Amino acid sequence: MSTYVLMKILESAPSRYDAGIRMLTLGQIDRIYERIALLVEKDQKVLDIGCGTGALSLRSARRGAFVKGIDVNSEMLEVARRRAKKEDLQNITFEETGIAEMEKEGSDSYDVVMSGLCFSELSKGEIAFTLEEAMRILKPGGKLIIVDEVLAVSLPLRILQLAVRIPLVVITYLLTQTTTHTVKGLAQSLVWSGFQLESSQTYQMGTLIQMVARKPNGE
Amino acid sequence: MESLIYIFINTVETCLRMAPFPAKTGLIRIGNPDRNSPVLLTCNYHLTVQRMKRALRGLDAFLLVANSRGINVWCAATGGLFTNHDAVSVLKTSGIEDLVDHREVILPQLAATGLERKVIKKKTGWKGIWGPVEAMDIKEFLANGETKIESMRQVEFPMVRRFEMAVAWAFLISIFFTAILSAFWKGAIIPVVMLTWGVALLVFLAFPLYEQWLNPKTERVGFVLFDFGRGGFQLILLAVVLVVLVGLSMGPESFDWGFFLRWGIVCSIVILLVSIDLMGSTPVYKSGLHKDRMFTIELDEKRCRGAAFCEQVCPRNCYEVDQEKHLATRPRADLCVQCGACIVQCPFDSLFFKSPKGEIILPESIRKFKLNMMGKRTMNTGDR
């Protein structure tokens, strides 16, 4: 079991996850998450897919929404729970659930489904499945909000992105054992799944994307 | 051509063995599978996927690659990076459910430290079957009606695996030395790299010769001696190298102290680095750097009903189940590598870890956090 040496280092990684993400996004992520939380209203029912250490969930809960955060990483969830407890937030729950395990969420039951830096961790099949589930559990007219890392559109920007990203990824991984990936064709997948894309904004030279889509209001 | 690519991939990825190497997750068709073909699940460590494809050549089957973060099955499952969620996800999202009529998936046995058949069945309806430890046994396993002979359940450390570990360490350490020495002592790079490869090959290929003196229970975790209770293999190795150095330092007129000291220090560092996690580099001992090796696995006989799940998943063949008394026994407990598979799989929660201080780690903690609990895994739970 030789990777145990590596494991030993990775073992404490969840506690360094947030620092890692902040480094990789050069501090942008907090501002984006703050802005997203503004889209959530009091008393709305919110599902945060891949909530990790709770960055988006906690911000939404502070605005008075009823939030459920799901993630597959039990340690990150522990960090998230600890944070919620520290702030004494009663309107938030965290659950160890993967994207393929949402069947117990009722259909048409959420006002908002959100996800920060999670889709880029998924395979194509998983993305399609997740969007299908999101479509099912959202109320008609409900919002889907996604923040993720993408490849820049123009070639010069893409080259610049690589030049900045490669050393950044190495340094961040060495310091915090955290890394991210990019996701492709998200807008297209959203449309295929039946969502109406409302807005799409990019940040940090086109490398971070924020998308807001809506489940169509039934006729 | 295909074989050449396979050899190339094996060489490169063996050199870089210590790093994660993710492969694409999802469904792979082997041959021309139909609606009754077997479905096998594996991790997304690139080399593993390549070897699985190779081992399955000539068969018609579906191979599901689950996300283990680019790490091999055993390490990922034990460290909490290859879990039920990953298995459930690939079963539900890869489209396999539309391609076969049955609901039976062969899981890698070494994933038993992280995957639970019960949970997977409940969440997906798929019935898991523990396959063999080694990919190359899969054909025989399938041909025998999915039954395993004893040797298919056990991890070994044969010559090929020892050679792989020697290469993995030697490559990594060579890079490290080259980077450092190129700054101030370029002339030493080639001899040091050669020394590194020599020592690594010697340490790993000679493993069976000195294995009997290894003591996995020693509490000393420090430098040179930490892997060994009695003696110290590194010291012996160093002594041999130093004798050679003395010989080389003898000039025609005088003894070259500068040469002897310089190379003495370099040799010590090489030997130390190569053997720093000697036991952890083998599948037959727990890492010398990991505290888990001090744990013992305890059996609560009142709970045990002889289900024999432990016997089926133990990669070290520690267990034997007494079929008359319906009770598990551990006649070969000294071979245990504390992987925790038996604890995770026991349907009656009758197995648990105990630390040398008497602290107890219950099955539910292992299932939840695996062997990876932010250093807070032990808890006193009174009189369990």
Which string of DSSP letters, residue by residue, matches B251-271? Answer: -SSSB-HHHHHHHHHHHHHHH
User: What's residue B217's pLDDT?
Assistant: 62
> Do B128 and B216 fall into the same domain?
no
pLDDT (tens place) for every residue of chain B, 384 residues total: 888 999 999 999 999 888 888 899 999 999 999 999 999 999 999 999 999 999 999 999 999 999 998 899 998 998 888 999 999 999 999 999 999 999 999 999 999 999 999 999 999 999 999 999 999 999 999 999 988 888 899 999 999 999 999 999 999 999 999 999 888 888 888 989 998 999 899 888 988 887 777 666 655 443 344 444 444 666 677 777 778 878 877 777 777 788 888 888 888 888 888 877 777 788 888 776 666 677 889 999 999 998 999 999 999 999 999 988 899 999 998 888 888 999 999 999 999 988 888 888 888 888 887 775 434 433 333 333
CATH class as words, domain A4-214:
alpha beta
- Domain total in chain B: 3
Q: Report helix angle A155-176 to A17-24, nearest 10.
A: 160
Contacts made by residues B101-106, CB under 8 angstroms, sequence distance 24+: B101/B35, B101/B36, B102/B36, B102/B39, B103/B127, B104/B38, B104/B39, B104/B129, B105/B39, B105/B40, B105/B41, B105/B64, B105/B129, B106/B38, B106/B39, B106/B40, B106/B41, B106/B130, B106/B131, B106/B138, B106/B141, B106/B146
CATH number, domain containing residue B23: 3.40.50.11600
User: Does some domain include residue B375?
Assistant: no
Question: B89–A126: do the CB atoms touch at under 8 Å?
Answer: yes
- Where among B153, B170, B186 does a domain terminate? B153
Q: Are A60 and A48 in contact (CB under 8 A)?
A: yes
Place of tokens 């080399």: B47
Residue A8, number of CB atoms within 10 A of its CB:
17
Residue A213 scores a pLDDT above 90: yes
User: Does some domain include residue B377?
Assistant: no
At B374 the three-state DSSP class reads coil
User: Does some domain include residue B300?
Assistant: yes
Residue A169 scores a pLDDT above 80: no
Q: Is the pTM of this model over 0.90?
A: no
Question: B79–A7: do the CB atoms touch at under 8 Å?
Answer: yes
Residue A26, number of CB atoms within 10 A of its CB:
12
- Where among B258, B281, B304 does a domain terminate? B281
Which among B71, B72, B85 is the nearest to A98, CB-wise?
A: B85
Question: B24–A123: do the CB atoms touch at under 8 Å?
Answer: yes
CA dihedral (B352, B353, B358, B360) in degrees, to 10, reads -60
- E-strand stretches of B253-343: 296-299, 320-322, 327-329
**In angstroms, rounded to a whole number, what is the distance separating the alpha carbons of residues B159 and A41?**
63
> Do B345 and B268 fall into the same domain?
no
**In angstroms, rounded to a whole number, what is the distance separating the alpha carbons of residues B381 and A141?**
49
CATH number, domain containing residue B358: 3.30.70.20
User: What's residue B185's pLDDT?
Assistant: 83
> Do B245 and B334 fall into the same domain?
no
Dump pLDDT digits (tens) for A124-133.
889 999 999 9
- Where among B93, B126, B153 does a domain terminate? B153
Mean pLDDT (whole number) for A57-82: 92
Cβ contacts of B376 on chain A, cutoff 8 Å: none
Q: Which residue out of B89, B123, B162, B377 would a mutagenesis test of the A interface target, given it has the greatest number of A Cβ atoms within 10 Å?
A: B89
% of chain A surpassing 90 pLDDT: 46
Phi then psi for residue B54, to 5 deg, are: -65, -45
CA distance to partner chain B, nearest, from residue A175 (Å): 16
Place of tokens 């993967």: A98
Cβ contacts of A1 on chain B, cutoff 8 Å: 74-75, 78, 280, 283, 286-287, 337, 339
> Do B7 and B101 fall into the same domain?
yes
**DSSP structure class, residue A101:** G
Residue B314 burial by CB count (10 A; 0-12/13-18/19+): exposed, middle or buried?
buried
Q: Which domain holds residue B185?
A: 159-281
Phi then psi for residue B170, to 5 deg, are: -60, -40
> Do B127 and B19 fall into the same domain?
yes
Question: A101–B123: do the CB atoms touch at under 8 Å?
Answer: yes
User: Does some domain include residue B15?
Assistant: yes
> Do B272 and B163 fall into the same domain?
yes
> Do B8 and B144 fall into the same domain?
yes
Question: B75–A125: do the CB atoms touch at under 8 Å?
Answer: no
**Distances B211 to A185, B278, B284, B339 between C-alpha atoms, Å:** 54, 11, 10, 20
Residue A167 scores a pLDDT above 90: no
> Do B137 and B203 fall into the same domain?
no
User: What's residue A57's pLDDT?
Assistant: 95
Closest CA to B295 of B222, B214, B346, B351: B351
User: Does some domain include residue B378?
Assistant: no
Which among B93, B339, B372 is the nearest to A125, CB-wise?
A: B93
A:B CB pairs within 8 Å:
107
At B319 the three-state DSSP class reads coil
Mean pLDDT (whole number) for A77-84: 91
Cβ contacts of B74 on chain A, cutoff 8 Å: 1
> Do B208 and B263 fall into the same domain?
yes
**In angstroms, rounded to a whole number, what is the distance separating the alpha carbons of residues B26 and B44?**
9
User: What's residue B232's pLDDT?
Assistant: 60
Which among A4, A72, A123 is the nearest to B287, CB-wise?
A: A4
Please give the structure tokens belonging to residue A187: 């807008």
> Do B301 and B264 fall into the same domain?
no
User: What's residue A1's pLDDT?
Assistant: 36
Please give the structure tokens belonging to residue A73: 């990483």
Q: Which residue out of B85, B123, B291 would a mutagenesis test of the A interface target, given it has the greatest number of A Cβ atoms within 10 Å?
A: B85
- Model ipTM? 0.82
Question: A8–B290: do the CB atoms touch at under 8 Å?
Answer: yes
> Do B127 and B184 fall into the same domain?
no
Q: Which residue out of B94, B274, B372, B379 would a mutagenesis test of the A interface target, given it has the greatest number of A Cβ atoms within 10 Å?
A: B372
**In angstroms, rounded to a whole number, what is the distance separating the alpha carbons of residues A66 and A109?**
12
Question: B280–A126: do the CB atoms touch at under 8 Å?
Answer: no
What lies within 8 Å, CB to CB, of B53 at 6+ separation is B28, B30, B63
> Do B139 and B240 fall into the same domain?
no
**DSSP structure class, residue A217:** P
Place of tokens 């879990």: B83
